[in-house]
Structure 1
Amino acid sequence: MSSSLRVTPVPAGKIGLEMLFQGLWQNKATIIVVVVLAGILSAVYAFLATPEYQVTSVLRPAAINELDALNRSEVYTLPPAQALLKVGEALESYDIRLGFFRSHQNLFKAFSRPGRTLEQSFEEFNKNSISLEVPDPKKTNTLSNYIRLEMTYPKGIDGVSILNGFVEYAINVERQQIAADLTVIVKNRLAEIEGKLNAARSSYEMDKEARIAKLAEKDVLRRAQLQDELKALRAQLKAVRSDRLALLDESINIAKSLGIQKPSTLSSLGDKSGNRSSSIIRTEINNQQVPLYFMGVEALEAERRTLLQRKSDDFTGARIAQIAKDLQLLQSNREIELLNNRKNEDLFLSNVAPLRGEQARLRSLNLDMAQLKLVVIDKLALEPIKPIKPKKVLILLSGLILGGVLGVLIALARSILLIRRNAAVDRAAHSQHAVIAESAKSER
């Protein structure tokens, strides 16, 4: 057996570098063929692979005046940095991405496959298509907050419309969420204010009823006291009249026994002669009380008859007239009537003016949430000039390098196998020559 590579016998397992280089040189054609094939395959892949493009959109915080109306409402506070964070959370939300995918299926036809559900198609898109980048808070060289969205997509997909539409969709979803939160907060605050007003109304009703009850009770008590006083006064006047009748009866008896028919005095009673001139007028000064019987029988009986015919003694007591007046006034309590006839009782509630003002302010809130600018789109996604993948030059260079490495490995493997095979043949020939030589010696 012969070979193009002749080597000197070497110990088993030991191959010199010179032999390897000789083997590589003798297999240079193989290396070149492998490199060319690898280059051709790389070129085929580079020119036939589906190009991939990348678009970018950048969001920054909105100006303070854009959120001023919302913040001045004193209901919902949203600084620009927090608004940007909320939009970022919406952009990163799986549910919002799925919602955009469902509502814009015409943009994602390339991801649809027969026998695949919409969610499975979305998973293919969502897995590696859109990435979100925010500044590192540990780095101090960042001038302002921002959110960067990058989307990588293959040729045949409208990535610009998808990214810009998704950004707008996420902003609208977050705007609607803020509007819904604002509506709920306003509704809850109005319910809280209404509860406080209802509590004030209940307190007012209780106070009003308590006041009416106190006034009515006071009137009842006063009426009972006046009636008791009136009854006592009438009994007293009746007793006085009875005493007067008794006194008159005694005085009449005395006057009859003394023969006093007409009103008389002590001096006239002492005049026995009875001869008095009609032209004489007697005047008597006496500091003693004149007994009643000096009034004479006629006057006393006339008074007695009058007293017996009297049906009521009320006119004799001035206090009774006053009591009657007071009882008449107690027939109706004007304050109770006014309290019961109040039309708009909310006007009389106390300490509710701030609540009414806040209620009116909340009901008059009219924020145009459709014009609320949560973030500034600093950079819209634009149609890319060239694809980012495949990178043809890099693929060709990588293919040539890999082809060269593979060719060298193949050449080395062939050289090592050939060297070992030739070494084994040489060792076998050398052993045969040694046996022949030994046989020749023994024959001699």
Structure 2
Amino acid sequence: MQDQPQRSFHDDEIDLVELFHSLFKQKYLILAVAGAVTLVAAAYAFLATPYYQVQSVLRPVDRGSIDELNGTGVYELTPVEALNLVGAGLSSYENRLAFFRGNQQLFAGLIEPGRSLEQTFEEFNRSAFTMLQVDPKKTAGQSEFVGLSLTYPRGVDGVEVVNGLVAFVLDAERARIDADLKVLIANRLFNIEQKIEAARASYEASKETQIASLLEQDALSRAQLQDELQALRAELKTRRQSRIMVLDEAIQIADSLGIKKPTTPSSMSDSQRQGQVVRTEVNSREIPLYFMGSEALRAERDALSARRSDDFVEPRISEIEKELALLSHNRQVEVLEKRENEDLYLKDLAEWRQEAAQLKGIKFDSSQLRLVRLDQQALEPLSAVKPKRALVMVLGLGVGLMLGVFVALLRNIFRPKAKAPGLA
């Protein structure tokens, strides 16, 4: 009765020695399972479709390669920007699809019945292409580059696909730059034409304004001179009429005094004296007009009454008539109106025409433009990247051994145990 607990304790324990001994007895089973799994893995490794990998790497060119483009003064591009343009073109789905459609012979191994070209390419594009770029987290000591990696199955000419796609994208980017350059040149020329047209309109408006201003100034000056002339003539007429009235009054006085000939107060007093007298006359004021005598006064009055124009009396009238004659024709207005080639008077026209001539003289051959430097070209791979036969077989062997041991353990667990001797 005392040995029962100890025996129960040993029944619950796993005897490792016995376990290894059991596995050793089933070594052929384990090896058979491992061999079978290894054969399956080997069959997969040798029969599965092999996949290969190629890549192409592009780096920035030196500035001299794109200097001709920048020298146009219209399109500015740095080497890094050119590299980024090409990188964006390589990652463009549109460019890849266009290349696929134009080179279907390179993808002959992908074509399957019942699937459209777009469906075939969509699956291939999603799993096969990988863009290579500088890690933004590890930029120290790394130069800029852009690459394209392609993993492809047998039946696809991966080398030609990568190299052809790179060349296709480069040609597409050159064509796009060429088109952009032409558009920029056309826009610049159109802008210059707009400036010239605007300058012409401004000049026409300025000329018309100048002519109107000159004519207005002439009209104002003419009106002022006419007013001055009219005022002067009225003044002269008034002065003449006043003179006639003064003469009439002087004639009456001269007649009443009996003065017919011009005389002086002294002469009148001398005629009434006898003897010889030496006389000195000093006059400090004007002698009255009637001393001129009635005959002279009547002669002057008749002349003034018969006068038809007083213009010759005032020199300013002749000056006014001269100025009015000059104002009858504005030569500056005539010259402005007779201008033929008015473009010659446009400001900045020579500069604009020079710029337009330079733009029209731009002859840029985009086919010779080197956008990137081909650092690594896609080459035929030496071996497939998958499946890795050696690794698959090693893994198959390892999995087979584990599976064989597992099967052996299951057999050991479910196998009926032999009864211990001495037990009833």
User: Is the TM-score greater than 0.5?
Assistant: yes
Query: Shift in Å at residue 259 of structure 1?
Result: 5.6
Greater Cα offset, 328-337 or 183-192: 183-192
1:235-314 to 2 correspondence within 5 Å? 235-257=234-256, 292-293=289-290, 299-314=296-311
What's the counterpart of residue 233 of structure 2?
234
The yes-or-no answer on 1:390 pairing with 2:387 is yes
1:400-424, Cα deviation, whole Å (9 max, x unpaired): 3332332222222223322xx134x
* Whole-angstrom CA distance in 2 between matches of 1:26 and 1:289: 175
The match for 1:422 among 407, 417, 420 is: 417
What's the counterpart of residue 164 of structure 2?
165
CA RMSD, 1 decimal: 3.7
Greater Cα offset, 352-361 or 159-168: 352-361
Q: Aligned in 2, Cα 1:104/1:142: closer, same or farther, shift over 3 Å?
A: farther
The yes-or-no answer on 1:399 pairing with 2:396 is yes
- State whether residues 90 and 166 of structure 2, in contact with CA within 8 Å, keep that contact through their aligned partners in structure 1: yes
Secondary structure, counterpart of 1:46 in structure 2: helix
What's the counterpart of residue 103 of structure 2?
104
* Whole-angstrom CA distance in 2 between matches of 1:76 and 1:203: 31
1:187-226 to 2 correspondence within 5 Å? 187-189=186-188, 204=203, 207-226=206-225
What's the counterpart of residue 60 of structure 1?
59
* Whole-angstrom CA distance in 2 between matches of 1:71 and 1:185: 13
The yes-or-no answer on 1:129 pairing with 2:124 is no
* Whole-angstrom CA distance in 2 between matches of 1:262 and 1:254: 13
Matched letter for residue 422 of structure 1:
K
* Whole-angstrom CA distance in 1 between matches of 2:366 and 2:304: 96
For normalisation by structure 1, the TM-score amounts to 0.78
Secondary structure, counterpart of 2:417 in structure 1: helix
* Whole-angstrom CA distance in 1 between matches of 2:166 and 2:390: 34
Query: Shift in Å at residue 129 of structure 1?
Result: 1.2
What's the counterpart of residue 114 of structure 1?
113
Q: Aligned in 2, Cα 1:430/1:271: closer, same or farther, shift over 3 Å?
A: same
1:326-349, Cα deviation, whole Å (9 max, x unpaired): 111112222333344444445444
Query: Shift in Å at residue 79 of structure 1?
Result: 1.7
Secondary structure, counterpart of 1:58 in structure 2: strand
1:3-45, Cα deviation, whole Å (9 max, x unpaired): xxxxx99966644233333333333332333233333333332
1:23-172 to 2 correspondence within 5 Å? 23-139=22-138, 142=141, 144-172=143-171
1:168-191, Cα deviation, whole Å (9 max, x unpaired): 122233333334444454555555
Q: Aligned in 2, Cα 1:9/1:267: closer, same or farther, shift over 3 Å?
A: closer
What's the counterpart of residue 4 of structure 2?
none
* Whole-angstrom CA distance in 1 between matches of 2:155 and 2:9: 63
* Whole-angstrom CA distance in 2 between matches of 1:272 and 1:74: 112
Query: Shift in Å at residue 255 of structure 1?
Result: 4.9
Matched letter for residue 380 of structure 2:
E
Secondary structure, counterpart of 1:422 in structure 2: coil
Query: Shift in Å at residue 77 of structure 1?
Result: 2.8
Greater Cα offset, 160-169 or 115-124: 115-124
Secondary structure, counterpart of 1:227 in structure 2: helix
User: Which consecutive unaligned segments of at least 5 residues does structure 1 have?
Assistant: 1-7, 274-283, 435-444
1:46-97, Cα deviation, whole Å (9 max, x unpaired): 3322222222212111111011123334443322122212211221222322
What's the counterpart of residue 439 of structure 1?
none
User: Which consecutive unaligned segments of at least 5 residues does structure 2 have?
Assistant: 1-6, 273-279
Matched letter for residue 248 of structure 2:
D
1:123-155, Cα deviation, whole Å (9 max, x unpaired): 111112121212334446746322232212111
Matched letter for residue 412 of structure 2:
S
* Whole-angstrom CA distance in 2 between matches of 1:110 and 1:89: 27
For normalisation by structure 2, the TM-score amounts to 0.81
Greater Cα offset, 361-370 or 87-96: 361-370
